[in-house]
Chains A and B, each alone.
Chain A
Amino acid sequence: MKLGILVNEGPYTHQASDSAYHFTKAALEKGHEIFRVFFYNDGVNNGTRLTVPPQDDRNLQKAWSELADKHKLDLVVCIAAAQRRGILDQDEAKRHGKNVDNIAPGFRISGLGQLVETAMIAERLVVFGD
């Protein structure tokens, strides 16, 4: 089945990012297709490559990137939410005069239309948040 995932919470708030990750992984293991994972609000904080969690802590940003690489996932962060929280790709960094970009591998920045499309095309939309 074609599934869509919406993540509304960052990796250091409660548990929603972890739940979304484990659900996505389990769905892929069962042979389902993940149409897209859309990161909205604080969820965009899953998409930075500049975090340095302690070595004995889970590294959710890296885990998402690795899962995306393995399964060719489409990980999309909302552009407005991302700009507010300093999540930038090369183009956005340049456009806003910032000297660095920080989007994690496997993530891309796009608009809310991508969430609408996910809701339309995926057979189920599963929401994780706070």
Chain B
Amino acid sequence: MSTLHTVNKSPFERSAFISALNHLGPGDALLMIEDGVVGARKASAFAGLLEKTAKNFSVYVLGPDLAARGMAEKDVIQGARLVDYGGFVDLVTEHDRTQAWL
């Protein structure tokens, strides 16, 4: 059973981001939304960990939330893919369930 994990807080603020990474299983995907997009920032203290995660799991960032925080695709780690709200909906339907790490 595949799970879409959503994270909506920065890893610098809460441990939910790390918890989500530790719970990724086969076929799972991680989607960073709201302040969670900060976790995808290139060269941050969490970048190495996320880059490693992106080699084994699908990692997505919500583009509108990234843009709202003054960042663009060039600012995020390699391996992370940008989606819009429609892409968010597709990810929800493509996975068997959604787990929000609040």
Contact = CB atoms under 8 A, between A and B. Distances in A.
Interface stretch (A59-67, A99-107, A120-128): A120-128
Contacts of B98: 124-127
Contacts of B8: 14-16, 19, 128
A1 B93 contact: yes
A98 interface: no
24 contacts: A1-B93, A3-B93, A8-B102, A14-B8, A14-B35, A15-B34, A16-B8, A19-B33, A22-B85, A23-B85, A26-B84, A26-B89, A27-B89, A29-B86, A30-B86, A124-B92, A124-B93, A124-B97, A125-B97, A126-B92, A127-B98, A127-B102, A128-B8, A130-B102
Interface in A1-53: 1, 3, 8, 14-16, 19, 22-23, 25-27, 29-30, 32
Interface of B: 8, 33-35, 64-65, 84-86, 88-90, 92-93, 97-98, 100, 102
Contacts, number: 53
A129 B98 CA distance: 14
Instruction: Name A's interface SS.
Output: mixed
Contacts of B64: 22
Contacts of A29: 86
Interface residues of A, number: 22
Interface of A: 1, 3, 8, 14-16, 19, 22-23, 25-27, 29-30, 32, 124-130
B34 A23 contact: no
Contacts of B88: 23, 26
A15 B66 CA distance: 13
